[in-house]
């Protein structure tokens, strides 16, 4: 299990993201909780998007990020999840 708080400007965060991408490329099974929507979009087979502790959207990343069934929660622009 990898547990860390990733802040894009902090040294080491990019290395952790690289390791996660490498593990996904190797076909490793992972359960990842993240605010890094780009990472989730790139490496996930399935995505669960939570809002207020409940699943608001689930499915393959192409659907969840590109053509969501539910409105993007927290996005004032109405853009698909991860594009706000």
For residue 1, pLDDT over 60 is answered with no
Cross-strand pairs, 48: 58
Q: What is the pTM of this model?
A: 0.64
Q: What is the DSSP letter of 57?
A: E
Distance CA 6, CA 51 (A): 20
In a domain, 22, yes or no: no
For residue 12, pLDDT over 80 is answered with no
Distance CA 73, CA 47 (A): 15
Torsion (CA) 23, 1, 3, 65 in degrees, nearest 10? 50
In a domain, 66, yes or no: yes
In a domain, 3, yes or no: no
In a domain, 35, yes or no: yes
Higher-pLDDT residue of 23, 69: 23
In a domain, 2, yes or no: no
Distance CA 27, CA 78 (A): 33
Could you tell me the residue range of the domain that residue 83 belongs to? 30-84
The owner of tokens 């594009």 is: 83
Reported as a single tens digit per residue, the pLDDT across 25-84 is 999 998 888 888 888 888 899 999 888 888 989 999 999 888 888 775 444 334 445 544
In a domain, 4, yes or no: no
In a domain, 80, yes or no: yes
Q: How many domains does the chain have?
A: 1
């Amino acid at each position: 299990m990898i547990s860390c708080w990733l802040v894009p400007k902090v040294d080491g965060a990019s290395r952790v993201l690289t390791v996660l991408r490498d593990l996904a490329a190797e076909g490793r099974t992972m359960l990842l909780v993240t605010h890094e929507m780009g990472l989730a979009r790139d490496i996930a087979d399935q995505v669960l998007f939570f809002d207020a502790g409940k699943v608001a959207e689930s499915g393959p990343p192409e659907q969840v990020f590109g053509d969501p069934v539910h409105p993007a929660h927290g996005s004032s622009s109405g853009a698909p999840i991860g594009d706000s």
